[in-house]
Structure 1
Amino acid sequence: MSIKVLFFDDDVNWARTVDIFCKDSKIELCQMANIADIRLKITQDPTFNLVVIDISTPKRSILEVIRYLKLNIPSVKIILTVSDMIILNKLGLTSGALTKLGVEDVLVKPYGQAALIKSIHGIHQFESWQTLKNQDEEEDDQEEAVREQDDRFTGVKLENYISGSVNVFDLYLRTSRNNYIRIFHRGKKFNKQKLEKHQSKENIEYLYFKTADRGTYINFTNKLLEKMIDKDINVGKKAGLVKEVSEIYIDEIFTKGIDAQIVTEGEAVCRNIYNLIQEDDILFEMLESYLNLDNSFRSHLFGTMFFSSVICKNVEWASGSTVEKTCLGAMLHDIGKLKLPEIFKTLSQKVMTPSQLMQYKSHPAMGVEMLAKFPTISEPVKQIVYQHHEMADGSGFPSGLPGIRIFPLARIVSLANHFSNYIVEKNMAPKQAIHPFVMERNTLIKFDQVLIKSLIIGFIKKGKS
């Protein structure tokens, strides 16, 4: 199925170039000669998935159309193109303003065909499941054996999987190394009885989908979690689901890298985590049963993000927007390690050689350099990534800043980062680790006392001292 895109750029020559870009790429491009025509066209034909608008020649009418789309047709995704990023600054279009306008990505001209196609397909792929309808009325009874490499599949615990009435991607059972059975087909009805039949015959712990569908899984599950927040659904189900989607999201970032849509999904993951732990029952369920951290990279990042959320919950000045930025910064804090050899993802600083330590200390700056390519990532998130190893006593890196000069949100992530590491190093559950952690001298001198208190409060049930 082709992606329908409305396109406006008053540079006629560049518009022709883009038309050539989109041929043979399953993108149905509709060129608009006048910015005002976009509003009329999309009202008449709501099947358009995306709008690409050039803002190199700033006009009030362009911003008015963007605001109209955001308010009246929020399902339509917007990509802005611009000849120079300075133009966005002059218009006051900060990362926050772009997000409020519903802008998913910004491309700087002259962008190449690959960049345009990646942006369009990336945004569409995550949400393509929303257009699915039953292909027919028959149950999804066909099964087939599939032999493919294990790394082409992603597993999700059966107890944490929730489906809609229609399968949003193909689902598989793993029978042995590199061998699978496809039991559900994308677009077909979800057959619960069929799954229960397999469960009664086999010891099934995981369902699998293609790793190429990870983005779809993340988007689908984020939407489910948004709906589940206020519903009377089993606490363990909510807790397990939020941990599962967070870790799969982390896998997506650190194997495929960052793009505009993955950042948007990360913001949704952060909102869902924070909203869910507002319910004390879910917070304590996660602390007691679901926060089993290990030495893996994904586990560390999830732990850092989760404990950052716990601290934010108990900090008076943390607004919803602040929490979202803090959690996204926590999720991305080690993104610079992608530029380092694989060993640095799990290697402890305590066992590094002097040359390794010097190399390791470059990862915050490398992370900021990577994020600089994405205008929709806010400055606070970049500051968190750059300063997450700074310490209150000035002993941190890369700048050795004293406590008062460290960005407040970076202080939160720094504390959460170290507590996450402490749990793994000591092989302790969070509830057992919190007391010895806060009693250590290093904790008391290296971290903000108010934030330490906020972390402790997260472990105290209401009505208990």
Structure 2
Amino acid sequence: MFRENPLALKILLADPSNEWLDSTAAYLKQNMYEVEVVNSGKKAQLSLYNRQFFAVILNLAIKNHTGLEVLKFVRAKHAGQRVVVMLDSLEMLKKDDLDVQKLVKMGATEVMVRPFTMEQLKDVLEGQQTIDDLVKNIPKPTGSTAEMEVSESDANFTKVKIEEFYTGKAILFNVYIQLGSNKYVKILYAGDTFSLERLNRYKNEKGVQFLYFHNADRQKYIQYCNFLASKIIASEKVSGPAKVKMMKATAEKLIEEVYSVGLKPQAVEESKQLAQNMYQLLENQTDLYQVLREFQEFDPNAYTHSYSVTLFATAIIKQFEWQSKVMIETTALACLLHDIGKVKMPRELVDKRPSQMSQAELEIYKKHPEFGDKILSNNLMIGQNIRQIILQHHEYFNGTGFPNGLKGNKVLSISNIISLCDDFVHFMITDQTAPPETLKRILVNTELVKRYNSVILENFIKIFVDPEKITKNSSLPSNSRMVPHKRAAS
């Protein structure tokens, strides 16, 4: 019997195996989900007709009606319904001439291939939750919410600058300030009403620079920041620098999450949302050229670097007549993940520059594009085009790049743009110079200039110029080719 619980997210499990249904339902119920189980497609459609679900977990192998028939029914009758499609193997798709991207077009929001763990399934469901879902399920504070000192390992926490802490009226998770090594004070409780005055008091009177929260809550922070950014990008009341700053905070935590726990489904979804937000910023911010001229971010950490590369690379794409929403979002997603292969490198190499490495270390470093391609090959929601761009993001137009020493039109244009922006951001940090000055350093160095397609360099110059005073270039970079694409994640 299906019992209504107004506070629980409701899940429909549709699978031909009663044993799997029982074990999965028990696990999800332990994790505060309300669950209904069905072992046929017909029963699944009847359940969908009678009630609403947060998500449907559908095995494509289900019978009477088939999984594909149920998926088509959902798309026709319940547009917007979240559907996690399960496959016993990828071979299941061949008989129907399908692939993962076709399933997505048919209405699947996620595709999982067995075997997978219950924890992985839980991660997928959490990745589907909206801000409204998160807010609805915030635990209500019980007892006193006075400040409380706690002793806990520093390794369990992540931090943000106090001026970059974004939240709604209700706090989504517990927030702390650090007293010292492994010592914290809980200053805000999940469910508390947010007070800007209180936060400013910590900053101005007590000199607090950072706020801390648990690593387990980092995904909630990313999701909220992405949501907030999507709402303010078109607002004329919020300045361009403030929008760029918010998206930077989001990107930093997103890349930190990927480096820390891997590219989980939630991170993929938030990466796509951040890419969409980047496109909207480029479309709506008429003074972006001025924002880019004044952009100053000299933090050398890998998380900030990925965002800076994303910001400048997408701005370059915007200068071409052939630019599109899909192209910009594809570029943004590739930029955000371009250094993901570094998670396979020894930790001490991640923040080293090549000039500081030994020959043996340099050989490992030059493999990180291939490491990234291999990592992404295991993610069904990241397509071949993104992988190609990332594999080539250190290739140069003159053939001096790595890992394969490609040259000329064998180097993808987006990859060449990313390699340019990657070098540019490193120079900007090393020299502590404003973006226009950093670009001049590249332009006066004939050996550096040879690395990049000349048309790409021309369009890089244009991102710092008032668009009213320039015309877009309608040609592709000379001797270049673009990545085949249909959508940002395809």
TM-score, length basis structure 1: 0.88
Pairwise CA distance, 1:274: 3.1
| Aligned residue identity for 2:419 | S
Q: Aligned match of 2:175 in 171, 178, 183?
A: 171
Q: Aligned match of 1:82 in 87, 92, 114?
A: 87
**Deviation string for 1:349-401 (max 9, x for gaps)?**
23433322222222222211111111111221111111111111222222222
- Residue in 1 that maps onto 2:482: none
The 2-side partners of 1:70 and 1:330 are apart by: 34
**Deviation string for 1:225-265 (max 9, x for gaps)?**
11101113331322221111111111111111111110110
* Equivalence map 1:27-426=2 (5 Å): 27-42=33-48, 44-46=50-52, 48-56=53-61, 60-68=68-76, 71=79, 74=80, 76-88=81-93, 96-100=101-105, 103-124=108-129, 128-132=133-137, 135=140, 142-199=146-203, 201-235=205-239, 236-278=241-283, 279-289=285-295, 291-426=296-431
The 1-side partners of 2:98 and 2:448 are apart by: 40
Q: Is the CA contact (8 Å cut-off) linking 2:72 and 2:106 kept in structure 1?
A: no
Change (3 A) 1:272 1:350: same
- Residue in 2 that maps onto 1:441: 446
Change (3 A) 1:200 1:304: closer
SS in 1 for 2:287: helix
**Deviation string for 1:95-123 (max 9, x for gaps)?**
55455556443221233434334433454
Q: Is the CA contact (8 Å cut-off) linking 2:342 and 2:372 kept in structure 1?
A: yes
**Deviation string for 1:332-355 (max 9, x for gaps)?**
111111111112212222343332
**Deviation string for 1:394-448 (max 9, x for gaps)?**
2222222222122232222222222122223333222211112123223322212
The 1-side partners of 2:355 and 2:292 are apart by: 29
| Aligned residue identity for 1:268 | Q
The 2-side partners of 1:20 and 1:207 are apart by: 37
Change (3 A) 1:166 1:117: closer
Q: Is the CA contact (8 Å cut-off) linking 1:95 and 1:378 kept in structure 2?
A: no
- Residue in 1 that maps onto 2:479: none
Change (3 A) 1:100 1:218: farther
Q: Is the CA contact (8 Å cut-off) linking 2:44 and 2:70 kept in structure 1?
A: no
Q: Which moved more, 1:418-427 or 1:89-98?
A: 89-98
Q: Aligned match of 1:10 in 6, 16, 22?
A: 16
Pairwise CA distance, 1:277: 3.6
| Aligned residue identity for 1:458 | I
The 2-side partners of 1:398 and 1:69 are apart by: 49
Q: Aligned match of 2:436 in 402, 427, 431?
A: 431
Q: Is the CA contact (8 Å cut-off) linking 1:66 and 1:101 kept in structure 2?
A: no
CA RMSD of aligned residues (A): 3.0
Change (3 A) 1:170 1:244: same
**Deviation string for 1:268-314 (max 9, x for gaps)?**
1122123224414345335414x313322222222221221111221
Q: Is the CA contact (8 Å cut-off) linking 1:127 and 1:220 kept in structure 2?
A: no
Change (3 A) 1:140 1:460: farther
The 1-side partners of 2:233 and 2:292 are apart by: 15
| Aligned residue identity for 2:274 | V
Q: Is the CA contact (8 Å cut-off) linking 2:251 and 2:304 kept in structure 1?
A: no
Change (3 A) 1:369 1:280: same
Unpaired stretches in structure 1, ≥5 consecutive residues: none
Change (3 A) 1:281 1:191: same
Q: Percent of pairs identical after alignment?
A: 25
**Count of residue pairs the alignment pairs up:** 459
Pairwise CA distance, 1:319: 1.2
Which structure has the highest helix share of the two? Answer: 1
| Aligned residue identity for 1:254 | Y
The 1-side partners of 2:163 and 2:143 are apart by: 23
| Aligned residue identity for 1:187 | G
Pairwise CA distance, 1:52: 0.7
SS in 1 for 2:401: coil
SS in 2 for 1:401: coil
Q: Is the CA contact (8 Å cut-off) linking 1:104 and 1:264 kept in structure 2?
A: no
The 2-side partners of 1:111 and 1:269 are apart by: 27
Pairwise CA distance, 1:79: 1.5
Pairwise CA distance, 1:139: 13
Q: Is the CA contact (8 Å cut-off) linking 2:104 and 2:110 kept in structure 1?
A: no
The 2-side partners of 1:304 and 1:199 are apart by: 30
Pairwise CA distance, 1:69: 7.0
The 1-side partners of 2:293 and 2:197 are apart by: 33
TM-score, length basis structure 2: 0.84
